[in-house]
Amino acid sequence: MSDEAQLPRYPIPRGVHPPLLSPAYESTRLRAPREPLRLLPQELTEITGPLLGEGRVGPLDHDLTRQHEGEPQGQRIIVTGRVLDEGGRAIPDTLVEVWQANAAGRYAHAVDQHAAPLDPNFTGAGRCLTDAEGRYRFVTIRPGAYPWRNHPNAWRPAHIHFSLFGRAFAQRLVTQVYFPDDPLLGRDPMYMSIPDPAARRRLLCHWSLDITEPDWALGYEWDIVLRGPASTPRHPPDRR
């Protein structure tokens, strides 16, 4: 195989992914490219990796409530779903990573100076591999909304950032999942930058009694489709 081998190209569905320039989302004005994109040949390692053998992801890496001595503050939740390809086939053994704010809406990150408390028992990052059915599962706390400086009195709806690899490093999807019925969604320039309303709604998880565990945690389900007309929208990879 040549070092200039390329992954197969797939048609990009219309309206699903946000444009690189979404003027209401302020920082895209600075970072959106002004010249047409040029596709670079992919390197062999981008096409053949990652090879994530057993033991790289720890058995508790999926549980964000058990990374410290005590339990974090907030509403304990389970977020789970399947990673699927265009044809609805499961994608097993794929790395799913998450990061999020704590229950008060603050990230454990030096740049975040929001006047909300840090939680010494919550780092806000986790990862897991999908199982044979393509299923991932995280235990965490429901993140809080937080202000940002995009426009006056701007608040981000509660969300969890997700990063997924398909079968190669070059097949990375970075996105965010939101919670249903959040009144902030309609005013969020990131969420609203996804042109197709049906595609936008694919970023909402839904509450499930089947996933909810008695006397323990509320359960939410969210499937992720990596390509095709029903694919899950890409979403800004910002810490925000």
Instruction: Note if 107 is an active site residue.
Output: yes
**With respect to Fe ion, which residue has the nearer C-beta, 162 or 165?**
162
CB of 159 to Fe ion, least distance (A): 6
**With respect to Fe ion, which residue has the nearer C-beta, 127 or 240?**
240
Among the options 25, 107, 178, 191, which is catalytic? 107
CB of 145 to Fe ion, least distance (A): 10
Which residues in the 211-240 window bind Fe ion by CB under 5 A?
240
Task: Kindly list the distances between the CA atom of residue 73 and the CA atoms of 64, 185, 226, in Å, as whole numbers in the listed order.
Answer: 12, 24, 33
Among the options 17, 142, 159, 235, which is catalytic? 159
**With respect to Fe ion, which residue has the nearer C-beta, 12 or 115?**
115
**With respect to Fe ion, which residue has the nearer C-beta, 200 or 240?**
240
Instruction: Note if 17 is an active site residue.
Output: no
Rounded Cα–Cα distance for residues 60 and 127 (Å): 9
Rounded Cα–Cα distance for residues 146 and 157 (Å): 7
Size of the site for Fe ion (CB under 5 A): 1
Instruction: Note if 161 is an active site residue.
Output: yes
CB of 240 to Fe ion, least distance (A): 5
Among the options 25, 136, 146, 191, which is catalytic? 146
Instruction: Note if 191 is an active site residue.
Output: no
CB of 43 to Fe ion, least distance (A): 30
Which residues in the 62-91 window bind Fe ion by CB under 5 A?
none
Instruction: Note if 159 is an active site residue.
Output: yes
Residues that bind Fe ion (CB under 5 A): 240
So which residues are the catalytic ones? Answer: 107, 146, 156, 159, 161
